[in-house]
Amino acid sequence: MNVPSWLTRALMSVALASTPALPSGAAPAGALPASNFDHDVAPSADFYRFAVGGWLAKNTIPPDRSSWSTFDELEQRNERRVRAIVTSHALLTAASGSQERKIGGFYASCMDTVAIERAGIGALRPALKRIDALRSRAQLAGIIEHGDATGSAGQEQAPALAFGSEQDPRDATRVIAGLSQAGLTLPTRDYYTANDARSKAIRAVLGTAMRRIFTLLGDTPSGATEETNDTLAFEQTLALASKTPDALRDPFANYHPMSLAALQRLTPNFDWHTYFAQAGLGAAGTAKIDVGQPAFFTALDRLAAGAPLAQWKSYLRWHAVVAGTEGLPKAYRDARFGLARALYGYAAPPPRARTCTNFTGNALGFAVGKLYVARYFSAAARARARAEIALIKASLRSDIGHIAWMGPQTRAAALAKLAKLSTAKVGYPDRWRSYAALSVSRSNFLGDVLNAQGFEFARDVAKIGKPLDRSEWGLTPQTVNAYYDPSMNEVVIPAGILETPFFDEHADDAVNFGGIGAVIGHEMTHGFDDEGSDYDGNGNLHRIVTPRDAARFHARVACVINQLDAYTSSVALRLNGKLDAGEATADIGGTTLAYRALETSLAGKHPGTIGGFSPQQRYFLSWAQVWRTKQRPQAERAQVLGDPHPPARYRVNGTLSDEDNFVRAFNVKPGSAMWKPPGSRCQIW
Ligand SMILES: [Zn+2]
């Protein structure tokens, strides 16, 4: 996994990251079912309620989920499909060593909870022994590398740091090594630094989970308490040295390329030669290393020099266990679930079948994806999606042609970048990833999990020091999401999101443009907003917007920040305008662009109403359907505090109150809640 890229992708994808799902009997709803509306509310009073009030009334959040939304529904539907694939009997009788056999075997070993209880922590013993044998600080780098390779490298929870391949921000044709801040169990630094009651309560729950797991590993009660205190203090130190999610958004401030020698000078107490050699990285791979957050690595270096070895051992033991929890006996899984419950408000752990479906879909993601698209995605759907994407791109081209805040120099650079923006990745990759090097036991699930993580780590490290492979996908075909990647200058739309209510091969254009069309428009504008405009058409870190035009853009975004800051979520928290403005601005852009694409496709014709609504009205109703969401208070709180996407109600009402076309389509009048005077509507695209 590409380190800064996972940061970027997480930020630029359209959905909030949500946890994936279980089968239900419900058939997918039609394009705009009338039963989703609430006719007791006027569209101009609260459009979100009008469009989805019926849906909100008839749906509840399943106990093993933190929210219930379009994304959850689709994830559940896709999970049901993936489950049908991974449980297919044919897989277990497929040729030994084939991808199909590996999929079936991985799922079967995950479901075999009797064998998992019997195996205990067996597969973790070598790692725990290595940690126990830690005698000198010189050994730290090797042990951390081992944790990265078999843990969750490239993710926040990797021990101490995240290491992975990265497209060189200054030469997008090459892949270099990237290092970033990581090593926390809780999602962001604020969970460790904030002193409100809720943050303190979550830290207490984390402490409880740690004490329980250290006890399971054989500690006495006082030993477990000591190890817990040590680990919490260690993570606290890492948190204080970490940047906020906000501060990670600036690619220039998070790019610090250096030689291995310079990195070694920055962190003299950490043996990078051992780390990289053990990771299988030769001289070509370490010629240029991007150290995302040098201050974090300086703090890590101080810990390498000064933290007691006993504290390091506790911290590393905890992370070794956390990385493989789902492969461990129930007592470990329950301890970990206590933390998930506190963080996201789940009422119950997911059924095992759901966990195993998701694990298999991740570990063998593209092998599963290949079977998924063969069954569930048609060539006709791909062709229609491509035609719609072309219209949205044309709409953005004409937009950039006249947009008021761009001067001639910016406009020319933006048009050159747009000409290179690729929209070729729709549905599924044309070349499939190989899982030949992944071995699956079918009897030792924890071993399979560690193997899969090691396989992914090795695959990623192998890319470093080589030319870029442009054919790679950052999401599997079955994923319900889409993204814009500024380094690749491309929009990627997996088959998983080309489903109702985002997209229906058989629906009218209004529904598709209001759904997936506006989502694609949202992603495309990211290429030219405050983040994307730091990159040129070739994906190099090079600003395409002049300082004067950037200031004009920011003056317009200030309108969005003010609008967000004045908005209170349903958990009585004020939104953070600065955090959410990028995504809210992309929503305004996406809905504006896709609306124009709809007008192009209507070409002045006036098709009649469907269900009493004009195409223009159906367009906005479709946008609202996409965001119908029920969310537990804990999850909404986590979103408001750390996720750059505003809550669903805002994405509908906030966005549309800025749209002249919406005001016209629903005849919104002064004095109603959805009304903003024309001069005060935020317009960027
Ligand atoms: Zn976005």
Is the confidence at residue 541, as pLDDT, over 70? yes
Residue 586 C-alpha to ligand 1 middle, in angstroms? 6
Range from 35-44, 151-160, 494-503 carrying the lowest mean pLDDT: 151-160
Which residues face 67 on adjacent strands? Answer: 631
Instruction: Give the class (CATH, top level) of 379-429+473-680.
Output: alpha beta
What average pLDDT does range 292-311 have in this prediction? 98
Residues with CB under 5 A from ligand 1 (ion): 583, 586
What pLDDT shows up at residue 152?
Answer: 57
Q: How far is CA 633 from the centre of its chain?
A: 20
Residue linked to tokens 């990159």: 535
What's the CA-to-centroid distance between 583 and ligand 1, angstroms?
5
**Each residue's pLDDT tens digit, 194-206:** 999 999 999 999 9
C-alpha of residue 12 to centroid of ligand 1, in Å: 4
pLDDT category of residue 6 using cuts at 50, 70 and 90: very low
Q: How far is the CA of 238 from the centre of ligand 1 (A)?
A: 28
The per-residue pLDDT for 305 is 97
CA of residue 551 to ligand 1 center, whole Å: 21
The residue ranges of every structural domain in the chain are 117-363, 379-429+473-680
Using the predicted structure, report yes or no on whether residue 28 has a pLDDT greater than 90: no
Cα(580) to centroid of ligand 1, in Å?
10
Distance 424 CA to ligand 1 centre (A): 19
Categorize the per-residue pLDDT at 22 as very low, low, confident or very high, splitting at 50, 70 and 90: very low
Position 16: which residue type?
Answer: L
Average pLDDT over residues 112-135: 96
Q: What is the pLDDT of residues 628-674, one digit of tens each?
A: 999 999 889 888 888 889 999 999 999 999 999 999 999 999 999 99
pLDDT digits (tens, 9 = 90+) for 508-535: 999 999 999 999 999 999 999 988 899 9
Ligand 1 geometric centre to CA of 526 (Å):
7
Kindly indicate the confidence band of residue 249, based on its pLDDT and cuts at 50, 70 and 90: confident
Query: Cβ contacts of residue 470 below 8 Å, gap of 6+?
Result: 488
Structure tokens at 153: 């490298």
In angstroms, how far is CA 112 from the centroid of its own chain? 29
Region 669-684 average pLDDT: 95
Please check whether residue 110 is in contact with residue 356, taking contact to mean a CB–CB distance below 8 angstroms. Answer: yes
pTM of the entire predicted model:
0.85
Structure tokens at 569: 């979520």
In sequence order, what are the residues at sequence separation of 6 or more whose Cβ sits closer than 8 angstroms to the Cβ of residue 244?
188, 189, 190
pLDDT of residue 148: 83
Peptide bond into 501 cis (omega under 30): yes
- pLDDT tens for 432-479 read 999 999 999 989 999 999 999 999 999 999 999 999 999 999 999 999
The pLDDT score that the predictor gives to residue 326 is 86
Nearest to 245 by CA among 7, 492, 509: 7
Angstrom distances, CA of residue 155 to CA of 10, 323, 462, 480, 672: 11, 10, 18, 20, 46
Residue-level pLDDT at 315: 97
Query: Which CATH number among 1.20.1260.10, 2.40.30.170, 1.10.1380.10, 3.40.50.300 corresponds to the domain 117-363?
Result: 1.10.1380.10
Tell me the pLDDT tens digit for each residue of 57-115: 999 999 888 899 998 999 899 999 999 999 987 887 899 889 999 999 999 999 999 99
Q: How far apart are the first and last CA of the chain?
A: 33
Q: Which residue's structure tokens are 């090079």?
A: 542
Give me the pLDDT at residue 157, please: 62
Q: Mean pLDDT lowest for which of 7-11, 220-224, 369-373, 602-606?
A: 7-11
DSSP, residue by residue, 51-114: HHHHHHHH----TT-SEEEHHHHHHHHHHHHHHHHHT-HHHHTSPTTSHHHHHHHHHHHHH-HH
DSSP state of 574: B
List pLDDT tens digits, range 577-627.
Answer: 999 999 999 999 999 999 999 999 999 888 889 999 999 999 999 999 999
